Every structure is written in structure tokens, then in C-alpha cells.
Structure 1
Amino acid sequence: MNVILAEAQKSNPILNIVVFVAFIVVTMTVVTRVSRKPQKTASDFYTGGASFSGTQNGLAIAGDYLSAASFLGIVGAIALYGYDGFLYSIGFFVAWLVALLLVAEPLRNTGKFTMADVLSFRLRQRPVRVAAAFATLGVSLFYLVAQMAGAGALVSVLLDIHAKTGQAIVVAAVGVVMIAYVLIGGMKGTTYVQMIKAVLLVGGVIIMCVIILVMVRGNFSELLNQAVAKHGGDAAILEPGKKYGVSSTSRLDFVALGLSLALGVAGLPHVLMRFYTVPTAKEARKSVTWAIVLIGGFYLMTLILGFAAAAFVGPDTIKKAPGGANAAAPLLALEVAGPIFMAVIAAVAFATVLAVVAGLAITASASVAHDVYNSVIKKGQATEEQQVRVSRITVVVIGVVAIVLGIGAMEQNVAFLVSLAFAIAASANVPTILFSLYWKRFNTTGAVASLWGGLLTALVLILFSPAVSGSKTAIFSGVDFAWFPLTNPALVSIPVGFLCGLIGTLVGKPDNLDELQAEMEVRSLTGVGVEAPVQH
């Protein structure tokens, strides 16, 4: 009998659906209850009124950051490629530390709602806000596509849906539920879902790791030996190079991946926006402590889960399952603890997707409403009710676009798709953020050049890369219009972003806003005056 059919028969689709529906009902009830107060102001909708404690926000940051890529994608990557798959875990965690050291607190002290608040603080508002809004939309959309693809793979495994049409319906359903979460709950409701999800995800992963270690009697070497045996005795999964060492091109891809992961988080708008939901810098630092403990511990445990998936499920079974590599984690839960635990773990993973896409949708909608509609179109004169209304419309539009693109990317590893979002963030946002915070001479021309230069270079190179066409795993596998050899554009696009900012600043005219430069420096380092919005 086919291995996949055997796995499906051990699973119970009706039980899975019941657990899923129960989870959605419970979280939607939470969202509705915490959002009873009408969200008429922009602060209510975007930041939950900055009313969360450091502990709550730390849980929510972990919930936002530990996405489907962290759980489904990394476990699958380790199961199939061993050591090279674990590089995603290392990259995601190192990136978090870089973001905290360089940008998190200065951004929180300088801004109000969005990343563009910081980038335009001492520069001309309109051109910078427009460019920053498009960069935010680019990053958010790629990240959303990854989460949608993860959700499609997850539910397809649970319900044993192999048909592309059925998987597409699943992705569409996820998008509709996500839109409902955001429209009903705003940032406050989304934050509570992220907190619940973080506790359940980390708790579920701990239970899985304990079960696995009991199965191998605490002998991690035995787990590795079993994983090697399932790979046909190929010990290459324990060494660097199985995925990124087979050719000179793949080695360059590895360098590009490392760059995008290490720098990308410092430019992810939905993660940075979380720091605006606490009332003080002290609470922001407290939330960082909680987030580091949860995120660091989680990424260490992905090593155990990945090799356990290789050992107990096997690479052949994973590749044949609906969703491919993304199915490794739920199939492992089924193998080690049975259908009930699989249903619970899958529901938690589904909550992971919902929480992250809701946070992304809010960030993108805030950028459109606050940065483009209010600051550019209405020149700062839009009412808060108008901004919230535009935000809600934007959420629906972004949701629909993410559904369509998510259906096209269902076969891709979600960790890889997220790495593309990281590459865009590192190319467009990070150079502009770092120059704005730490280079006094930086001007509007430099900001616009780095944002557009990094964004367009990354998007063009992704479009004409093997990730989109010309390979078996491409989004459009039947055609070939790829001319850029690397699947990740970071090796080219990140230097282009920094270079554009440098050249633009040197050839552009100074903004002559020395007072604002001095005020930004004081704010970013001390937090003084953080509540006072700046208009210029």
C-alpha cells in the first residue's frame, strides 16, 4: 500500500476539521471580546492604543516572528537537507539579534505608527512616505504569500487533499478568515491571537521534543543515525553542502540567503511595528527579553524536530505528501503521538499562519492609510475615522491579492518564500533605516533612491530567477524566462540598495532640516518626546 495512503488512514480528517473549527471559534471569540470598544482612532486600530505590557508584547512578538516558515518550512528543510536546512533557523535568530541591536528601540522612540514615520522624520515627507509604503507592501505581500502557501499545505495534509483545486480552496478560506480577524479585531485582537498562538506553538513543540527524546532514550546521536539511515545511509545531511554546496551557483545562493536572513528582520515592518504597542521604552526592552527566550528556544528545538521527521517519517514520504516539505511537521506529530496530537499541532500551526497574516495585513493597511492616504493624498488632514476606513478597505484588497499569489506558490517551501521577503526588506528598507538613524548627511534624494533602487532590483531579479520559472520547483515550472542564476537576489540587491542611498545623498541637495535632525537623534537615543507627533 502507498505510504501516503497509510499515513492518511491513520489520520482522521473529521477530527482534524473539528479541532480546526473549535480553534477558530475560540480565537474569534477572544478577538471579538477584546475588541468590544469601537476602534475609531488610528492608534486603536494600528497599535491597540499602546496598552500592552512588556510580557504580553514579548509573547506577541514571538507569535508574530515564529511564522509558518519557522515551524513548517524549517522542519521540512532540515528533514530533507539536514545541516543546510538548519541554516534557516540560525539565520532567522541571528537576524533577530541584529534588529534589536541596531534599529528596534531607536525606531520605536522616533516613530508613531509605521516605519515611514521614522524614514520621513527629518526628510521631505511625501516622496519618502510613498516609496516606504510601496516597500512595505512588497515585503508584506511576499510574506503573506508564504503564509498562504503554508496554510494550503497544512490543511491539505490534514484532509488528504491532493487535487490542486482543493488546495486552492483551502488557501482562499485562510485568506477570508484572516480578513475577518483583522476587520473585527484590529491590532488589539490580533495581538491576543498572537499571544495565544505563541504559548500553544512553543508548548506543542516542547511536548513533541520530549516525546522524540524519550523514543531515542535521550540519545541525540541515535536520532541522527536513524535520520541518516532513512536517507539511504547518506551522511551528507549531517554536513554542510547537501543543498548549497553542489555547485558554485548554489554556494553563491547560500551567501545570498545568509545576507537576506541576517539583515532582513531589521527591515520587516510587521515585526518593527510591534514595538509601538507598548507604552514605554522600559516595557519595550522587557518584551525583547521575553521574545529572545521564546524565539531562541524554539529555533533550537527545530533541529530535533527536523531530524526526527527525517528519521521517523522519511524524506520520500515527505516529498510525496500534499505540500511537500511543508508537511514534515504535521506528519511527524502523527507518527510520534497519533491523530489527536496531529490535529492539535496542525491547529496551532494554522493559528500561526492566521496570527502572522493578520499582523502583516494590519501593517500593510497602516502604511497605505497613514503614509499614502493621510500624509500624501490628504496632506495630513484626513480624520482618524477616514484612515481606519481606508485601512479596512486595504486589508480586503491585500487579502484577495495574497490568496491569488498564494495559490500559485503552494508547492514552494515556505521558509524559502519568506527568505525572499527578507531579501526585499534587506534591500529596500534596511539601508534607508540605517542611513536615517546614523548618518546626519542623509537626505531625501538618498532615501528615495535607496528605497526604490533596492525594492525594484530585488523584485526584478526574483521575477527572472529560477524561483519563478525555468526549474522543476519554480512557481511557473512549465515556462522559462529566467536569466538571473540565483534564486535569492540579496547578493546583488542589498549592495544596490546601500549604493543608491549613498550616491543619492551625495548628488542630492541637503534638506536643511538641522533642527529635526537634532530632535531625531535625541528621540532615538532617549525616547524623549516620543508621544508628540511631528508635522513639517
Structure 2
Amino acid sequence: MAGLGAQMKDTAWVNILIFGLFVAITLVVVFRASRNNKTAADYYAAGRSFTGPQNGTAIAGDYLSAASFLGICGAIAINGYDGFLYSVGFLVAWLVALLLVAELLRNTGKFTMADVLSFRLKQRPVRIAAATTTLMVCFFYLLAQMAGAGGLVSLLLGLDSKDKLGQAVVIAVVGALMIVYVLIGGMKGTTWVQIIKAMLLIAGAAVMTFIVLAMHGFNLSTLLDAAVTKAGDGGAALLSPGKAYGATGTSKLDFISLALALVLGTAALPHVLMRFYTVPTAKEARRSVVWAIWLIGIFYLFTLVLGYGAGALIGSKEILAAPGGVNAAAPLLAFVIGGPVLLGFISAVAFATILAVVAGLTITAAASFAHDIYTNVIAKGEVNPKAEVKVARRTVVVIGIVAIGGGILANGQNVAFLVALAFAVAASANLPTILYSLFWKRFTTQGALWSMYGGLALAIILIAFSPVVSGNAKAMIPGADFAWFPLANPGLVSIPAAFVLGWLGTVLDKTKESRTLQAEMEVRSLTGVGAEKATPH
């Protein structure tokens, strides 16, 4: 396997050809979809024109990010059982979204999460807080996608894993391409790219899974034995809990923290919540989630085979030495079992995965700033839709530039792990306020602000002073050491704290919120009556 890198360099032109073809096709799709972008509803919510199955497929395309394909396959190849826990957490999270959030949000809001949170609370402060948390969650999620893009395209081009400048240039090009997609296509173009990408990703993973199982006699036990044998001494740890999260008491707490973030984070991710507004009714929103759960569940079963397949056929040392490190497991496996053509196809699909998710994140962040901050706070609602969309497009460019810088800084980190941080921030900053707004009649503006700002600040502070950023060789700043928080994921502390802050802020608040608006929100969220009206104040 020592010559694997050299073999891939020799066939890099095949990868680039397939990759370029895919980009060209999706750009045509985006251009065609963009012709109907006439209003703000068209740009942000695709004119609410997608069916439940279409939107469910797009949600799967949005959710099955670089973390799901590149990060989880790598995590399973390196850590075995503990790596597969990412798949379990990401999937179980959809039950929370289905049962507590999807239908109610679709009934209550228009375009963004802030529409829901500010419905019965004070508009200005709540919209600013919601837009702030949305932008921060999108930023953390973008870090993961851009880091995955850098490693993936570097692998395609045959760049050396130590060529940081080359990978930085790659990330910049990916960011520029992402900006073009979103500027032109809006939500409709982005949705179609996500649908195409979801179908190709699941089909590509199915083909790879079939080949890997065929190479091992369609016997999962044989495959697991091969992975253990390839790992050498200590390989048996791949089949047992604890390789990544069982060595110490701190690592066990880290796993609980990770699980909390994964299970509760999905229902609070702004770019996932925004997808519920692209369907015409709450019933279609519910159907969307059911479709998404089936597609995502099937895909995560494939990751189990692909992760152990990479461990069995390539080995952890070869994976970790490749550009992108642990994120290279799936592309390397494609090359080993199918040569340059399969690698080119899988890499193009993986890149489409990144592009579609990044586009969804970017349009969500842009909508949040343009719709919530500019239109409803700065201009106080006196903005025509064309001006609002123009502001959104300018915001896209700024977000793209920031994402490029962050992606260069985060390059080399496991993308599944980086996404888990975004989930922790979302669950801390957004979920308590969403649930309190929907289900607690007494909830007040002060409670919302304490919960959102407190949860967001606590999550970010704990991440900044955790082993993720400094204190070890794998940290984002390897030469520094200012870590005092022992856990790599802040969810165990920041999520319960945000719920407590929301409760405390409410019970200490002397002001009374509008009972009329609260009652209207309850009726609307449960029945959908009046869901197409503008926010009332």
C-alpha cells in the first residue's frame, strides 16, 4: 500500500475530469432554477414549491455532509465501534426534530428561525439574538465543510499532506465556487443540487458497500476480522466500545457530551430548520422528515461497512498519512476497490456533498442577516423584497470569505468532530428557546435572550479553552496551550446551562408578554391556521 499516493497522483487527471463534469452539470441546474427567483420567498424558500419527498431528499442531501461521508468513514476506520456512534447519534437526532419541531415550525414561521422565536416576544432584541446564533452555528458548520473540501480536493490533485499552501488555495477555490452557486441559484437552485447530490451519494455508497462486502464473501464477520488483522496489535479494540472514549473518566464524559450535542443539535440547526419552509404545508414538512430519516438511516448503515472496509483494505497508518488525514478514508477506499474512475466519481459526489451543504448554510446565514437584521431591525420592515434579496446576496460574499479563512485554519481536523461542535453550539444557543417558545406559555423575551446569548457564549468559551483549540499536537493551534476545560465537546455543560438560563430569565422577569399572541402562536403551530400571514408585530 506504500505506493498508493503515487498511483493516485498518476491518475489525478481522471479525477479532475469527472469532478469538472459534475461541477458543470450542477451549474447548469442552478442557472435554470434561478430563472424563477423573482421574490424573497423564491430566493429564501424556493417559492414553497417542493413536495415532502423532494424536500426530504434535499434534507438528506443537506444533512449528509462531509462529516457523514468523509468524517464518519474515517472515524470508523480509525476507532471502530466508537466511530460508528457518530452515525447513531446523527440518526437518532431526527426523532427529536420530527416529534418536537418540524411541523410546529412550519406552521409558525415564514423564512427563518427568528420568525418563530420573535412571534410572541419582542421583535428587535429576539431577532438580533436569533440572527447572531444562526450566524455562529453556520460559521462552525462551515469550518467543517471547508476543511473537508481542502483535504478531498488535495487528495484528488495528489498534493502532499504537508503542503498547507496548496490546500489553502484549494479551500479558497472551493469557497469561490460556493459563492457563485448561492448568488445565482438561491434556495431553489441549492435544493436541486442537494437532491441530485443525495441520490448520487447514496447510490455511490451503495455500490462501494456492495463491492466491499463482495470482496469479503458478503460476510460482515469476515470484514470485521480483516479490519482487526490489518490493524495489528490492539486491533481487537476496533470491535469494542472505548477505543476513543473509554480510556479515562474524562473521555467517558466527553462521549456523553458528544451524544447530547448530536441528539439535540439537529432540531436546532438553522439550515435544517429553514428547509421546512420550502414546502407548502405542515403535513409536507412532516413527510419531509420521514423521508429524510429513511434515506439517512440507510446511508449510515453503509458507513459501517465502508469504515471497516477502509480499515481492512488500507489501514489506519496509510489513511492518516494522506492529505486530509482521517477524512481521506472513503476516497482512498474508492481508489483501492474501483481505481481512478470510482475515485473520481466518489470524490465528485463528496465534493458535491460539501458544495450543497455549504450552499445551504450560506443561504441560511444570508437570509438570517438580510431578513432578520436588515429588513426587520435596521429598516423596521420597510424594505421591498428586491432590496432584501440584494442585501442577502452581498452577505453571501462576506460569509464566503469568512468561511474560506476559517476553513484554512481548521484544515486537517476530523470533519465529523468539527460538525459535532456546531451541533453543540446549536443545541446550546437555539434549542431551549425554540422549545420554550413553542411549549411554555409563560416564557418571556428576557428568558429567550438569557438562553440564546448565555448558551452561545458558554459553548464558544468552552470550545476556545478546550483541547480542540490548544494544548496538544492535533489542536487547531498546536503550538499553544491555554486549555483549561477538559472536554472536547461543550454540550454536557452548555446545553443544560442554556435551559436553566431560559427558565431563570423568565421567572425573574417582571414584564408580561402578550397572552393574545401566545394563544395565536399555539393555535397556529398546532393547526397551521394563518401560517402564510406576515409576523403580526
- Same fold, judged at TM 0.5 (above): yes
In structure 2, the residue matched to 1:456 is: 457
Cα distance in 1 for partners of 2:507, 2:363 equals 35
- 1:93 counterpart (91, 94, 98): 91
CA distance in 2, matches of 1:509, 1:376: 25
Distance in 1 (alpha carbons) for counterparts of 2:94 and 2:250: 27
In the aligned structure 1, how far is the partner of 2:66 from the partner of 2:510? Answer: 44
Could you tell me which residue of structure 2 aligns to residue 34 of structure 1? 33
Q: 1:158 aligns with which of 148, 156, 161?
A: 156
Q: Which residue of 1 aligns with 2:271?
A: 270
Mapped to 1, the partners of 2:7 and 2:92 lie a distance apart of 36
Q: Which residue of 1 aligns with 2:131?
A: 133
Q: Residue in 2 aligned with 1:220? A: 220
Task: State the alpha-carbon separation in 2 of the partners of residues 179 and 273 from structure 1.
Answer: 19
Q: Which residue of 1 aligns with 2:231?
A: 231
Does residue 373 of structure 2 align to residue 372 of structure 1?
Answer: yes
Conserved? CA contact 2:103–2:283, under 8 Å: no
Where in structure 2 are the equivalents of 1:482-493 lying within 5 Å?
Answer: 482-493=483-494
Deviation at 1:331, TM superposition (A): 0.2
Give me the whole-angstrom Cα distance separating, in 2, the residues matched to 1:176 and 1:373.
24
How do residues 15-54 of structure 1 correspond to structure 2 at under 5 angstroms? Answer: 15-37=14-36, 39-54=37-52
Distance in 1 (CA, whole Å) between partners of 2:382 and 2:465 is 41
Output the CA distance in 1 between the equivalents of 2:200 and 2:294. Answer: 15
Distance 1:299 1:478 in 2: 36
Superposed CA RMSD? 1.1
Distance in 2 of aligned mates of 1:108 and 1:5: 48
Work out the CA distance in 2 between the residues paired with 1:121 and 1:31.
33
- Note the C-alpha offset of 1:534: 2.0
How far apart in 2 are the matches of 1:439 and 1:167? 48
Deviations 1:94-141 (A, max 9, x none): 111111111111011100000011111100011001011010011000
Q: Which amino acid aligns with 2:226?
A: Q
Q: Which amino acid aligns with 1:189?
A: G
Q: CA deviation at 1:285?
A: 2.4
CA contact (8 A) 2:106 2:281 kept: no
**1:507 alignment partner in structure 2:** 508
SS of equivalent to 1:469:
coil
State whether residues 41 and 47 of structure 2, in contact with CA within 8 Å, keep that contact through their aligned partners in structure 1: yes
For residues 434-460 of structure 1, give each alpha carbon's deviation from its aligned partner in whole angstroms, at most 9, with x where no partner exists: 100110000000000000000000011
Sequence identity percentage: 64
Q: Is the 8 A contact 2:444 2:513 kept in 1?
A: no
For 1:46 and 1:127, the matched residues in 2 are separated by 22
Corresponding residue for residue 103 of structure 2: 105
After TM superposition, give the deviation of residue 7 of structure 1 in Å. Answer: 4.5
Match in the other structure for 2:72: 74
How far has the Cα of 1:3 moved from its partner?
4.1
Q: How many Å separate the matches in 2 of 1:442 and 1:5?
A: 57
1:420 aligns with 2:418: no
Q: TM-score, normalised by structure 2?
A: 0.98
Matching residue of 1:391: 392
Q: Cα deviations across residues 466-523 of structure 1 (Å, max 9, x unaligned)?
A: 1011111111101111111111111111111111101100111333311111111011
**CA distance in structure 2 between the partners assigned to 1:522 and 1:236 by the alignment:** 53
1:525 maps to 526
The residue number in structure 2 matching 1:356 is 357
2 CA distance for matches of 1:284 and 1:466? 39
Q: Deviations over 1:207-255 (max 9, x none)?
A: 1111111111111000000000111042011000000011111111111
Letter in 2 for 1:83: Y
Deviation at 1:8, TM superposition (A): 2.6
SS of corresponding position for 1:170? helix
Q: How many Å apart are 1:4 and its aligned residue?
A: 4.4
CA distance in 1, matches of 2:159, 2:28: 29
Q: CA deviation at 1:337?
A: 1.1
8 Å CA contact retained: 2:104, 2:282 = no
Distance 2:171 2:472 in 1: 24
Q: Tell me if structure 1 keeps the 8 A contact 2:57–2:291.
A: yes
Within 1, Cα distance between the matches of 2:287 and 2:118? 28
Distance 2:342 2:396 in 1: 33
Give the whole-Å Cα distance in 2 for the aligned partners of 1:101 and 1:401.
35
Tell me: CA distance 1:318–1:140, structure 2 relative to 1, closer, same or farther (3 Å): same
CA deviations 1:272-322 (Å, max 9, x no partner) are: 110100111222222222211101100111100000000001111001001
Task: Give the conservation status (yes or no) of the 8 Å contact 2:121–2:513.
Answer: no
Do structure 1's residue 174 and structure 2's residue 182 form an aligned pair?
Answer: no
Distance 1:7 1:101, change over 3 A: farther
Q: Partner of 1:203 in structure 2?
A: 203
Cα deviations across residues 60-110 of structure 1 (Å, max 9, x unaligned)? Answer: 011001000000000000000000000100000011111111111101110
Are 2:140 and 2:418, in contact at CA under 8 Å, matched by a contact in 1? yes
**One-letter amino acid of the structure 2 residue matched with residue 165 of structure 1:** L
The amino acid across from 1:490 in the alignment is G
Is the contact made by 1:55 and 1:286 (CA closer than 8 Å) also made in structure 2? yes
- Could you tell me which residue of structure 2 aligns to residue 441 of structure 1? 442
Answer yes or no: is the 8 Å Cα contact 2:8–2:340 preserved in 1. Answer: no
CA distance in 2, matches of 1:511, 1:193: 46
Distance (Å, rounded) in 1 between the aligned partners of 2:164 and 2:2: 20
Letter in 1 for 2:258: L
Query: Aligned-pair distance for 1:385?
Result: 1.3
Deviations 1:393-432 (A, max 9, x none): 1111010001001001111000000000000001010000
Alignment correspondent of 1:405: 406
| 1:307 alignment counterpart | 308
Q: Which amino acid aligns with 1:180?
A: V
State the one-letter code of the partner of 2:179: I
Contact 2:94 2:289 in 1 (8 A): no
Q: Distance in 2 between matches of 1:390 and 1:492?
A: 37
- SS of 2:430's partner is helix
Asked whether the equivalents of residues 98 and 286 of structure 2 are also in contact (C-alpha less than 8 Å), the reply is no
Residues 4, 321 of structure 1: 8 Å contact kept: no
1:188 aligns with 2:188: yes
Give the 3-state SS of the residue equivalent to 1:466 in structure 2. Answer: coil
Instruction: State the AA in 1 paired with 2:12.
Output: P
The 8 Å contact of residues 444 and 511 in structure 1, kept in 2 or not, is answered as no
- Secondary structure of 2:417's counterpart equals helix
Measure, in 1, the Cα distance between the counterparts of 2:414 and 2:491: 18
2:292 matches 1:291 = yes
